[in-house]
Structure 1
Amino acid sequence: MDTMRERFASVTSRLLDEDPRLAVVLADIGVDGFAGAARRHPERVVNVGIREQLLIGVGGGLALTGLRPIMHTFASFLVERPFEQVKLDFGHQGVGGVLVSAGGSYDWPSGGFTHMAPGDIGLLDTLDGWTVHVPGHPDEAETLLRHAAAAGDDKVYVRLSVQVNAAPRPVDGVGFRTVREGRGGVVIAVGPMLDNVLAATEGLDVTVLYATTVRPFDAAGLRAATGAADAADVVIVEPYLAGTSTRFANEALEDRPHRVLGLGVGRQELRRFGQLDEHLAAHGLDPRGLRERIAGFVPARTGQ
C-alpha cells in the first residue's frame, strides 16, 4: 500500500493535468514526487527551496492571480513556522488555498521536536474559516484531496500521516460517520486513531464516530449520536494535542448536561526518539492506554 504522501503526489500530479487553475508550491520537501508534473507544467510547479515563509507568500500571490495553490511540506514548517504568512497572506487577503502537511505529531521521531507539530490544528483554530481534513488511510486522503482541490476559493488544511488504519472508510468531506452504536457514551476517533479506538472499545457499550473532517466540527452529528439522553458522555481521541476539539463538543451540547474527555498528544515533550508506536504508547494512544482511560470515563457497562 502506498503512503498518504505518495498518494498525494500522484493524485495532485494528475489534478495538475486536469485543472489549469491548480498550482503546487514546494519548499524542497516532496520535490521528487512532482518531477514529472514539473516537466509538464513548469509554470505551475514551483520549488522555493527551504524558505517556508516564502512558500506561503508565493501561494498567497498565486491565489491573488486566480490560481488555486496547493502548498506542501512538514506540518511544523507549513503551519507553525510561517503562521504569520498563513494569517495574513490568506486570511487577511481573503484568498483561498490548500495546505497539505506531512510529519503529523511525531511521524518521524528521529527528526526531533523541530519536525513535530502536535499543535497545528489548535493554531489554525485561532483563525477563521479553515476546513480541516485528517484522513486515516491513503484512499481517504485521495478523496479529501480532491475535495480540497475543487473547493472553490476555500481555505483547506489536509493533515497527512504515516499512521494509517487497516482499511479505508467512506468519507465525504463533511461530517462524522457512525462506525459502532452503543448506549453508554460517544467516542469520536479522528483519522488514524480509528483502529486503536475500535480495539480499545471492544465490548464497551459506546457509540464510535469516525471523523476525517474535523473543521467545521460536526455539532449536529454529535448531537444526533448522543440522542435524547438526559446527559451525555463524550470522549474525543485526536492524533494531535489532547483537548483540541473539546471546546466544540461543549458548544454542541451546551443545552444539556454532559461531560467531555479529550485524549491526544500530551504537551510535555518526549525527549527520546523511539518509534511511532512507542510515542503512541507514551501518550496513552495505543489500544491499552485508550481502553484504560475510556473505560474509566464512560458508564461501566458492556455491550450485550
Structure 2
Amino acid sequence: MTGFALLTDTQQPTPSDPVTPPDLRERFYALLPELIASDPRAVALLADIGAGYVDVPPDLADRVINVGIREQLLVSTAGGLALTGMRPVVHTFAPFLVERPYEQLKLDLGHQGVGALLVSAGGSYDMAGAGETHFGPRDVPLLDTLDGWTVHVPGHADEAEAQLWAALPGDDRVYVRLSGASNARPYGAGPSMTVLRRGRRGTVVAVGPLADRTLAAVADLDVTVLYAGTVRPFDAAGLRATLSEPDVVLVEPYLAGTSVRHVSDALADLRHRVLGLGVGAAELRRYGSPEDHDAAHGLDVAGIRRSVTRFLS
C-alpha cells in the first residue's frame, strides 16, 4: 500500500487504557544535547524558554546559544547561521516562534532559500493561565502562507523524537509543534496517515494529540478514522485511498478549518463535504485551564462527538 499506514489487529488503539504518556517538551529538552552532539553542523538557538531545562555538556556549550527574549533576532540568527552551512534548531513557545518573527521566517529563511528546524512548545493554549499572549493556534495557518515548510504535529513523545532525528540532517524548513496534550501511545511519525479504524459513513482525520479523544468520541459510529502526525505536506493519497463516503471531518489542535483547503484540493474531482473542527477564532478572555478551552472550542470528547454526529446526520 502507498499513501498511508495500517495498524494490524494486534496494534489496534485502546485510548481508554490508564497510561500516562511521556511529556513531549521534556523529551525534547532531554534529547537536544544528543541531537546537537550527533551533527557538527547543528546549533541550538533559544530565546530564554527552555534555557534552564537543557543540560548542556561543556564541550557543546558553544553550540547552544540563548539570545534572550528577542524572537526576531532568534530567527534572523538562524537564517545567518544557515547561510554559513550550519543547521539551526530553534526553540521557544509557538506564538513567539511563528507569529512574532513572521517577517524573519518569510525573509531570513524563505527568501534567502535556507532552512532550519523549528521546535515550538505550548500548543494552542497549554499556558492557559498566561492568557492570549502565550496562545498559539495560528502557527500552522501562518506557515501555510509560506512556501516549502514541512509541519509535524506529533501526538506522542516517541513520534516527536523520530521526527526530530529525521529532520536534523537536512537543509529544509521544518516545524515540529509540541503540545502538553498527548495520546496514550504513538500512532505513526511518518509523512503518511495511519488508518486507526475503518467505517462506511465518512472519514474523520484526527491530528496529533487529538487522536485518542477522537477515537473515544466516534467509538460507536461507522466511520474511518485516520491519524496525521505530519500535516504538511498533506497526505492526499492516503485520504483518497481510504475514502468511503466523501464526507470528511478534520479534528485539528490549532485554528479550525486550517486544512480544509487541502482536503478540498485532494477531492477536487469528487462532490464532497468537509467539516473543520479546531480552535475558534474568537478570543476567550477567561483563562481557565487547557481542559476548559478544549470544552469551549468543542475539542473535548463530547464536543467532537456532537459535531461529527450532527455533520454526518
Q: Calculate the TM-score normalised by the size of structure 2.
A: 0.92
Partner residue of 2:283?
269
Given the alignment, which residue of 187, 202, 205 partners 1:188?
205
Q: Deviations over 1:139-177 (max 9, x none)?
A: 111111111212x111000000001111122322x1111
What's the secondary structure of 1:25's corresponding residue? strand
Does 2:293 align with 1:282? no
Q: Distance in 1 between matches of 2:29 and 2:77?
A: 20
Matches for 1:250-269 after TM superposition, within 5 Å: 250-269=264-283
What's the secondary structure of 1:132's corresponding residue? strand
- Tell whether the 8 Å contact from 2:160 to 2:189 is kept in structure 1 after alignment: no
Partner residue of 2:223?
206
Q: Distance in 1 between matches of 2:308 and 2:220?
A: 12
Does 2:251 align with 1:237? yes
Given the alignment, which residue of 28, 31, 38 partners 2:51?
31
What's the secondary structure of 1:34's corresponding residue? coil
Matches for 1:52-63 after TM superposition, within 5 Å: 52-63=71-82
Q: Distance in 2 between matches of 1:202 and 1:17?
A: 44
Q: Distance in 2 between matches of 1:168 and 1:219?
A: 22
Partner residue of 1:179?
196
Partner residue of 1:224?
241
Q: Distance in 2 between matches of 1:93 and 1:16?
A: 24
Q: Which runs of 5+ in 1 are unaligned?
A: none
Q: Which runs of 5+ in 2 are unaligned?
A: 1-20
- Tell whether the 8 Å contact from 2:149 to 2:173 is kept in structure 1 after alignment: yes
Does 2:128 align with 1:109? yes
Matches for 1:79-118 after TM superposition, within 5 Å: 79-118=98-137
Q: Distance in 2 between matches of 1:28 and 1:171?
A: 28
Partner residue of 1:5?
25
Partner residue of 2:18?
none
| Number of equivalent positions | 293
- 1:284 deviates by 0.4
Partner residue of 1:248?
262
- 1:101 deviates by 0.4
Q: Distance in 2 between matches of 1:272 and 1:297?
A: 29
What's the secondary structure of 1:235's corresponding residue? strand
Q: Calculate the TM-score normalised by the size of structure 1.
A: 0.94
Q: What amino acid sits opposite 2:196 in the alignment?
A: V
% same residue:
59
Partner residue of 1:161?
179
Bigger relative contact order, structure 1 or 2 (CA pairs below 8 A, ≥6 apart):
2
Q: Deviations over 1:168-223 (max 9, x none)?
A: 22322x11110010011000000000011001001100000000100000011111
Where does structure 1 differ by over 4 angstroms across 4 or more consecutive aligned residues? none
- 1:43 deviates by 2.1
Q: Distance in 2 between matches of 1:190 and 1:285?
A: 12
Q: Deviations over 1:242-274 (max 9, x none)?
A: 000000000000001100000000011111111
Q: Distance in 2 between matches of 1:247 and 1:50?
A: 35
Q: Deviations over 1:39-82 (max 9, x none)?
A: 22122110000100000011111101101100000000000000
Q: What amino acid sits opposite 1:193 in the alignment?
A: L
Q: Distance in 2 between matches of 1:239 and 1:115?
A: 15
Does 2:145 align with 1:131? no
Q: Distance in 2 between matches of 1:66 and 1:43?
A: 16
Q: Distance in 2 between matches of 1:153 and 1:36?
A: 24
